Amino acid sequence: MFNAKGFTLIELMITVAIIGILASIAYPSYIDYILQAGRSDAKVILLEAANKQEQLYLDSRTYTVNMATLGYSASPALSENGYYKISSEVPEKGQFKLTATATGDHAYRDQVCNTMTINESGVKTPLECW
């Protein structure tokens, strides 16, 4: 009797279908993970810059719009992984607003948290991103 080895076409198609189903579930979860990692990148630098603004205010009774004054290499500054650029504005004396704006591919993929902000009172927007 002839003993055949290998896979049948049906077995191969079932395997491909299972892999397709798993990939269709895993890929969106992966994209969500990447977006959340980028948002964490923005949160870290926004909170760090807010702390530096407050330290500057304690030392000189003024806030700054220049990120280099806070110790960053450029203005606007880039987050650690480069997903967001951070800028500062001083709308009135005794106030500041830090804004993180998504850059590159992250800006295209993350429509909800494309821009994140924090001010001198600790008010963070948009809330769903924090």
Give me the residue spans of the domains in the chain. Answer: 9-129
Quote the pLDDT of residue 106.
76
Q: With contact defined as beta carbons under 8 Å apart, do 120 and 127 qualify?
A: no
The per-residue pLDDT for range 20-67, each reduced to its tens digit, is 999 999 998 988 888 888 889 899 999 999 999 999 999 999 999 988
Whose tokens are 């809330």? That residue is 127
User: Using CA of residue 99, residue 102, residue 108, residue 114, what is the dihedral sign?
Assistant: negative
- Per-residue confidence at 73, pLDDT binned at 50, 70, 90? confident
Name the CATH topology of 9-129: Glycoprotein, Type 4 Pilin (3.30.700)
Q: With contact defined as beta carbons under 8 Å apart, do 78 and 90 qualify?
A: no
- Per-residue confidence at 112, pLDDT binned at 50, 70, 90? confident
Quote the pLDDT of residue 86.
92
- Peptide bond between residue 91 and the one before it cis (omega within 30 degrees of 0): no
Percentages helix, strand, coil for the chain (3-state, rounded to 5) are: 50, 15, 35
**Closest to 117 in 3D by CA, of 92, 87, 95:** 87
Quote the pLDDT of residue 20.
94
Q: What is the mean pLDDT of residues 11-21?
A: 94
Q: How many residues does the chain have?
A: 130
pTM summary value: 0.77
